[in-house]
Amino acid sequence: EAQVTQNPRYLITVTGKKLTVTCSQNMNHEYMSWYRQDPGLGLRQIYYSMNVEVTDKGDVPEGYKVSRKEKRNFPLILESPSPNQTSLYFCASSSLGQVGKYNEQFFGPGTRLTVL
């Protein structure tokens, strides 16, 4: 089954304790992205990657790191989490695909992170 997986799905941690949220897709997609979703603020992009070893900042990259060493994986790293990073996080992927064809983004199930 074509899918984007994220782990963990739920995480409660404390301020300053480094954590990684993994994201993996099995669709051979070039493009991957991380979003956070907060009440009243909608979906905001954190980082994205157009291909292996190519990453770029989205709208809210502060406090986050990413890496893209393999095509299928795009982990999100919080080196020193703070309470304002408490949020619902989504990973998404899509094909860069054919010119003129809309390449829909496929989203993972989400990771609900609480930083105390």
Partner 1 sequence: DAKTTQPTSMDCAEGRAANLPCNHSTISGNEYVYWYRQIHSQGPQYIIHGLKNNETNEMASLIITEDRKSSTLILPHATLRDTAVYYCIVRVYFGNEKLTFGTGTRLTIIP
Tell me which residues touch partner 1 (CB under 8 A): 4, 31, 33, 35, 42-45, 48, 50, 58-59, 88, 90, 92, 94, 96-97, 101-110, 112
- Taking the least distance from each CB to partner 1, the nearer of 14 and 96 is 96
Question: What pairs with residue 37 in β-bridges?
Answer: 43, 88
* CA distance linking residue 94 with residue 104, whole number of Å: 6
Give least dist CB 85 to partner 1, A: 17
Give least dist CB 96 to partner 1, A: 6
Q: What residues have CB less than 8 Å from 98, skipping those under 6 apart? A: none
- Taking the least distance from each CB to partner 1, the nearer of 35 and 78 is 35
- Taking the least distance from each CB to partner 1, the nearer of 45 and 67 is 45
- Rounded to a whole number of angstroms, the CA Rg of the chain reads 14
* CA distance linking residue 18 with residue 77, whole number of Å: 8
